[in-house]
């Protein structure tokens, strides 16, 4: 046997001995190991049971919480149902009552708005109008009182257009009744202003305006409000002072003297209201000549006079004013205007008598029998003679100057 064989067998014997030693050692160790593993497994099992107990406790707590939540949910559902019942009650009863109250409030508010509108649109303007009328009346009374005082202090006679001895004698004779005559014949300021409103459109574009015999200045006031330059001429001292107190431009002088003092073609319009019937024929002709001279080409003359075609005016009421010379027919005045070089553009009859004073009732003529128709025609004719327009107005124009062809 070789040496290598002996070494191999020796190594195998050593290895076998080692395995046996290991088995012996393992046999000695196995019971202790098993005991330790058993203890570890028991501890692990105890821990698992403890954790399971904790989990069961938590589950019990969660169950209690779930029960509490369920109870609260039931309470919430009950409360919600109560709220829903209350809302339904509010919708069915209280909201209906609220709607009714809102309707009542809206109705009351509408009535209040209507009342406010009535006060704003009706009561306040009416009150303002009454106050304005009262203020104007007080102003008028103060001016009238001042005029009377001035007349008394100056011992002024009734003014007349003519300045001859006979006219001065008549003025002095009428001095005692002068204040009453002035008030009676010229009419109230409101009435005169209302009558003159229609003049404004006629004189627009014809400034400056010269108002002959302007009196208290009613037309001048309207022209000033319309923004039209105007000046007045009046011989009555008291009326001139009243007009000046209103800030109006009025010259106290005779009509003819005032016209002569003006430059040729320096005025756009001349107005004369209830003035020409105070003139004699010669004076009227001279005044119209001067009017034509001072008017610019294309300028206008407006003259208003009592209408003698109305017999109640021409035969009766005209003579109430002792300063009137004679009734002036529109045809006569038109002839005077033509002779002076003016062209009559318009002739208008104004201020008809109130319908209550007329003979006719306003029914259509031609109804009824032949006798009734004749009576209707007779009443119509009598109304024309007795109850026709009380005044007439003439508008005359100064012709434009002829121009050569080179000027066009």
Is residue 343 predicted with pLDDT exceeding 50?
A: yes
**pLDDT of res. 125:** 75
CATH no., domain 176-352+388-407 = 3.40.50.150
Query: Residues 4, 5, 8, 10: what is their CA dihedral angle, to the nearest 10 degrees?
Result: -110
Whole-model pTM: value is 0.54
Task: Give the residue with greater pLDDT, 238 vs 25.
Answer: 238
Pairing of β 342-350 and β 391-398 = antiparallel
Residue 93 per-residue DSSP state: I
Confidence of residue 407 (pLDDT cuts 50, 70, 90): very low
Give CA–CA dist 124/101, Å, rounded: 32
Task: Give the residue with greater pLDDT, 115 vs 335.
Answer: 335
Is residue 264 predicted with pLDDT exceeding 80?
A: yes
Strands of 267-273's sheet in order across: 250-252, 230-234, 209-212, 267-273, 295-306, 391-398, 342-350
244, 221 contact by CB (below 8 A):
no
Highest mean pLDDT among 214-223, 278-287, 354-363: 278-287
Using alpha carbons, list the distances in angstroms from residue 91 to 84, 85, 97, 349: 10, 10, 10, 76
Confidence of residue 190 (pLDDT cuts 50, 70, 90): low
Mean pLDDT for all residues in the chain: 78
Mean pLDDT value across residues 253-260: 96
245, 146 contact by CB (below 8 A):
yes
**pLDDT of res. 50:** 85
- The string of DSSP codes covering 305-360 is EE-TTSHHHHTTGGGGSTT--S---HHHHHHHHHHHTEEEEEEEEE-PPPGGGSSS
Highest mean pLDDT among 139-153, 161-175, 317-331: 317-331
Give CA–CA dist 169/155, Å, rounded: 14
303, 393 contact by CB (below 8 A):
yes
**pLDDT of res. 53:** 80
**pLDDT of res. 281:** 92
**pLDDT of res. 136:** 65
Query: Residues 319, 287, 211, 318: what is their CA dihedral angle, to the nearest 10 degrees?
Result: 10
**Region of poorest pLDDT, from 118-127, 190-199, 355-364, 386-395:** 355-364
Task: With CA atoms as reference, report the closest residue to 329 among 397, 396, 269, 394.
Answer: 394
Half-sphere exposure of 40 (CA within 13 A, CB side): 6
Tokens of 405: 């062809």
Give CA–CA dist 166/346, Å, rounded: 36
**pLDDT of res. 111:** 82
For the segment 54-103, what is each residue's pLDDT rounded down to a tens digit? 887 787 778 777 777 777 888 888 888 888 887 777 777 767 777 788 88
Task: Give the residue with greater pLDDT, 278 vs 197.
Answer: 278
Report CA Rg, the chain: 60
Report domain extents, the chain: 40-154, 176-352+388-407
**pLDDT of res. 406:** 43
Is residue 52 predicted with pLDDT exceeding 60?
A: yes
Percent of the chain past pLDDT 70, that is, above it, reads 69
Is residue 3 predicted with pLDDT exceeding 50?
A: yes
356, 391 contact by CB (below 8 A):
no
Give CA–CA dist 170/175, Å, rounded: 9
Confidence of residue 393 (pLDDT cuts 50, 70, 90): very high
379, 359 contact by CB (below 8 A):
yes
- The string of DSSP codes covering 122-175 is IIHHHHHHHHHHHHHHHHHHHHHHHHHHHHHHHTPPPP-S--SHHHHHHHHHTG
For the segment 149-189, what is each residue's pLDDT rounded down to a tens digit? 555 555 544 444 444 555 555 555 555 555 455 555 555 55
Mean pLDDT value across residues 357-385: 65
């Amino acid at each position: 046997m070789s040496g290598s064989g002996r070494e191999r067998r020796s190594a195998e014997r050593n290895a076998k001995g080692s395995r046996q030693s290991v088995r012996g050692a393992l046999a000695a160790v196995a019971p202790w190991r098993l005991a330790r593993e058993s203890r570890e497994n028991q501890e692990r099992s105890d821990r698992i049971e403890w954790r399971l107990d904790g989990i069961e406790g938590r589950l019990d707590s969660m169950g209690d919480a779930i029960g509490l939540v369920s109870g609260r949910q039931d309470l919430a559902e009950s409360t919600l149902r109560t709220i829903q019942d209350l809302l339904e009650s509010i919708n069915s009863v209280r909201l209906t009552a609220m709607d009714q109250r809102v309707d009542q409030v809206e109705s009351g508010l509408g009535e209040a708005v209507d009342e406010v509108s009535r006060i704003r649109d009706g009561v306040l303007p009416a009150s303002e109008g009454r106050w304005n009328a009262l203020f104007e009346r007080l102003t008028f009374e103060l001016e009238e009182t001042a005029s009377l005082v001035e007349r008394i202090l100056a011992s002024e006679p009734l003014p007349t257009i003519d300045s001859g001895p006979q006219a001065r004698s008549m003025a002095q004779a009428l001095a005692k009744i002068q204040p009453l005559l002035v008030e009676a014949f010229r009419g109230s300021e409101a009435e005169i202003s209302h009558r003159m409103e229609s003049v404004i459109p006629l004189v627009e574009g014809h400034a400056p305006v010269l108002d002959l015999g302007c009196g208290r200045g009613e037309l001048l006031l309207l022209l000033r409000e319309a923004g039209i330059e105007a000046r007045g001429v009046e011989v009555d001292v008291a009326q001139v002072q009243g007009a000046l107190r209103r800030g109006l431009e009025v010259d106290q002088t005779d009509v003819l003297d005032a016209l002569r003092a003006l430059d040729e073609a320096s005025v756009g319009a001349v107005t004369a209201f209830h003035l020409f019937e105070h003139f004699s024929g010669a004076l009227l002709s001279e005044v119209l000549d001067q009017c034509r001279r001072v008017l610019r080409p294309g300028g206008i003359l407006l003259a208003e006079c009592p209408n003698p075609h109305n017999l109640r005016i021409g035969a009766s009421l005209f003579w109430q004013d002792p300063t009137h010379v004679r009734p002036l027919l529109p045809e006569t005045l038109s002839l005077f205007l033509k002779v002076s070089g003016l062209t009559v553009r318009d002739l208008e009859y104004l201020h008809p008598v109130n319908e209550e004073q007329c003979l006719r009732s306003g029914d259509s003529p031609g109804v009824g029998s032949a006798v009734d128709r004749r009576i209707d025609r007779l009443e119509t004719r009598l109304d024309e003679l007795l109850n026709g327009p009380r005044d007439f107005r003439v508008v005359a124009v100064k012709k434009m100057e002829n121009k050569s062809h080179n000027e066009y």
